[in-house]
Structure 1
Amino acid sequence: MENIRQFWHGACELNPLPTEYESWAAAQKQDFLWNQNILPSTYDKLPPLKKIDVPGLFLTILKIKMERLSDEAPPQWKKAIHAHGSVAKVKFVPTPDTPFTGLFKGADYGLLRLSVTGDPTDRGFAPGLALKLFVDGQPSENVSALVSLSGQGKNYNFFAHEFSNIVPEEKSLGPKFINLIFRRVSKYPRRLYLQRFGELDQNGHKESVPYYPERIFLVPNPKIQFAESPPHDFRHDLATIKLGTLLFSVYGVAPNQGGDDVRNATIDDIEQPAYRQKSQLVGTIETTSEFISSFYGDSRLFFRHQRFDNQ
């Protein structure tokens, strides 16, 4: 951690979450994390991208990743993958006719972290994202999404492909080994659940009949494209994105669209390409700030993985 700290000025100490933090309104939580920790720890010089730390991932207590509700990582937490990225404030803008409940009805306060699994010169360019939407008086809701487990080779355009909370199985050794590591804490490590997004709205009101998609696809805005040719640092690309930019159109597959209930649909069913064809536009993710690369965003900001509930 100290090696990373040298890349930011350190003129302002990081502020731990106050004991009353979870009781705050969504806007206040976003403001605290952004203005008190992310902005003050902005890097003066970007730290070099790290290779995937496979031994470190194996030794990580992955149960924490699945069960910790806080927006801040525990002390001494280290990212074995996705160690470096950039964060922006965002909002989720729903389509007027969305059938989904909870945060799918709209969320004005969120954080989006875009990162790569590791140094692209080592295993190729493998982009990923983590989305956090804040809720008044309740823990935030989080979801992560990938293009694939192996990434997109030498294509350095972060927005070249769609992202999803479910990724297909791959046969190559590296992804298979990482998948096995995550199987220690989840029967379905390639599948993240969206249940909590449908249960509470951004004001903290509980939905009487939650309704949420079993799979989402985040489709990049075709107007935002970067050079495919390496080498260049994706964080420099993200820094050019302006406040008020539509980043992703979000498509969701409703329960029963695949011919089965969300809890009963098999992983093989949901991974089929036909699921993408059955998806419907449910909203967009838009920036409410520029992207920032910071010590806090890389080392302390925490995104929970909601494991699939049908274990």
Structure 2
Amino acid sequence: MRFTNTLAAALLIAASSAADAATDEQYLRRFNAYEPRLGEYSGNEATEIKATRGSRGGLKTPRRRGPAKDVAAVRPKINPNREDGKYHDWRDYDADVYGGKDPYAECVYPQDTEQLDTPDYQALSAICKDELIWTKVLQDTRRERFYTGYEFTSLFDQDMNLTYDVVTDTMPKDRLKKTHPVGTMSKIEVIPHPDQPYTGMFKGVKHGMMRISDTTKTTPTVQKTNPGFGIKFLRDGMTSANILAMFHFDGQSSWNFFKNRWTTILREPNNECARRTIGKHLATVTDHIGGTSVMEVAEYDQYGNKEAEPHWPFQIEFEAYDVYGWTDEYQ
């Protein structure tokens, strides 16, 4: 699998930006993180962190937490604020990929593109879906914020069947993304080994999207991350194929997202709290809370052709080719 330069650049930008931020508060202010309000969603106010000054001059959060506040589960409103004039894809560095022609010139998009799951949207070619999704990704330069503590309460009121069964290229309507809220997107393609035995999109993918994210909030003072990614393989005239992968439910003691292999089948979490909360909630709809099949990747190829005899692997492990020399330290 080969990744475009966009992902590498995005990760470098994210790393350098994080290095400039000495505290969580400064980090949130730098990216103008969203701040949920009751009944609205404002992205113009930086997150305020209330703290009391300790005896040695450091900042400490209050020991006793106040009563839980209802945080409105309202989807953030898109603010089309990008003004850099760039495409952030092949058009910025190799405009002759398609012989100087615009490959999206003949795309005719549905009038309603709010939810990317309508018959008109699914009927589009993979390259037109690629452009539509990427245009939406680039609209708003602000980043989401992480959720903590009682803010996860609404997660346990959600129907987990939607997570496993909804066929769409957007989040289910009215659902707020509480886990993996902060991530970086990239266009990808799959260039398979000529002797690989699998069918469908394992034979090659020209138009795909990848989102790498951290599961929950991290801080520079605690060396722990819990990275994962989602891959969306776009197909002509039909639904996409999707792959989800992580290293482990419990995360890793490193700031290097690429330190460990990621897999499509996870072991159950070792953390007892996680087993009794999110693990139990996922178990209401599946007997395999850490496992996702890649069967749909093998059933149809990127042109929408059905395979007569689909063949797919039971499990996939992903190992990054790290040419940047990332370390375990916070950068």
Bin of the TM-score, shorter chain as denominator length: 0.5 to 0.7
Q: How many residues align?
A: 227
Shift of 1:98: 0.8
Q: Match of 1:109? A: 207
Q: Which has the larger radius of gyration?
A: 2
Q: Match of 1:180? A: 280
> 1:101, 1:207 within 8 Å by CA — same for their partners in 2?
yes
- For 1:176 and 1:225, locate their aligned partners in 2 and report how far apart those are by CA, in whole Å: 34
Q: Match of 1:133? A: 233
Q: Match of 1:34? A: 134
Q: Match of 1:198? A: 298
- For 2:199 and 2:42, locate their aligned partners in 1 and report how far apart those are by CA, in whole Å: 40
1:178-235 deviation line (CA, Å, top 9, x unaligned): 22110111111111011111100000000000000000001011314434223x5xxx
Shift of 1:5: 4.1
Change (3 A) 1:201 1:9: closer
SS in 2 for 1:33: helix
- For 2:315 and 2:228, locate their aligned partners in 1 and report how far apart those are by CA, in whole Å: 16
How large is the Cα RMSD of the aligned pairs? 2.5
Match of 2:259 among 143, 160, 164: 160
SS in 1 for 2:249: coil
Q: Match of 1:144? A: 244
- For 1:202 and 1:9, locate their aligned partners in 2 and report how far apart those are by CA, in whole Å: 30
- For 2:325 and 2:125, locate their aligned partners in 1 and report how far apart those are by CA, in whole Å: 35
Match of 2:79 among 2, 10, 13: 10
- For 2:242 and 2:264, locate their aligned partners in 1 and report how far apart those are by CA, in whole Å: 11
- For 1:214 and 1:67, locate their aligned partners in 2 and report how far apart those are by CA, in whole Å: 19
Shift of 1:73: 1.7
Higher-RCO chain (CA-CA 8 Å, sequence separation at least 6): 1
Shift of 1:31: 0.6
- For 1:170 and 1:67, locate their aligned partners in 2 and report how far apart those are by CA, in whole Å: 23
Q: Match of 1:71? A: 169
SS in 2 for 1:201: coil
> 1:166, 1:190 within 8 Å by CA — same for their partners in 2?
yes
Shift of 1:10: 1.7
Shift of 1:176: 1.3
Shift of 1:171: 2.6
List alignment gaps of at least 5 residues for structure 1: 233-311
List alignment gaps of at least 5 residues for structure 2: 1-35, 46-76, 83-111
- For 1:5 and 1:212, locate their aligned partners in 2 and report how far apart those are by CA, in whole Å: 43
Q: Match of 2:23? A: none
> 1:87, 1:112 within 8 Å by CA — same for their partners in 2?
yes
- For 2:311 and 2:305, locate their aligned partners in 1 and report how far apart those are by CA, in whole Å: 14
Identity across aligned pairs (percent)? Answer: 25
> 1:62, 1:185 within 8 Å by CA — same for their partners in 2?
yes
1:138-169 deviation line (CA, Å, top 9, x unaligned): 1101111011001003x111111110001112
- For 1:54 and 1:9, locate their aligned partners in 2 and report how far apart those are by CA, in whole Å: 23
Aligned partner of 2:180: which letter? H
Aligned partner of 1:228: which letter? D
- For 1:82 and 1:161, locate their aligned partners in 2 and report how far apart those are by CA, in whole Å: 18
Q: Match of 2:71? A: none
Change (3 A) 1:214 1:224: farther
- For 1:209 and 1:184, locate their aligned partners in 2 and report how far apart those are by CA, in whole Å: 32
SS in 2 for 1:71: coil
1:49 paired with 2:146, answer yes
Match of 1:169 among 268, 271, 276: 268
Aligned partner of 1:21: which letter? Y
1:100 paired with 2:215, answer no
Write out aligned runs for 1:257-272 (5 A): none
Greater share of strand residues, 1 or 2? 1
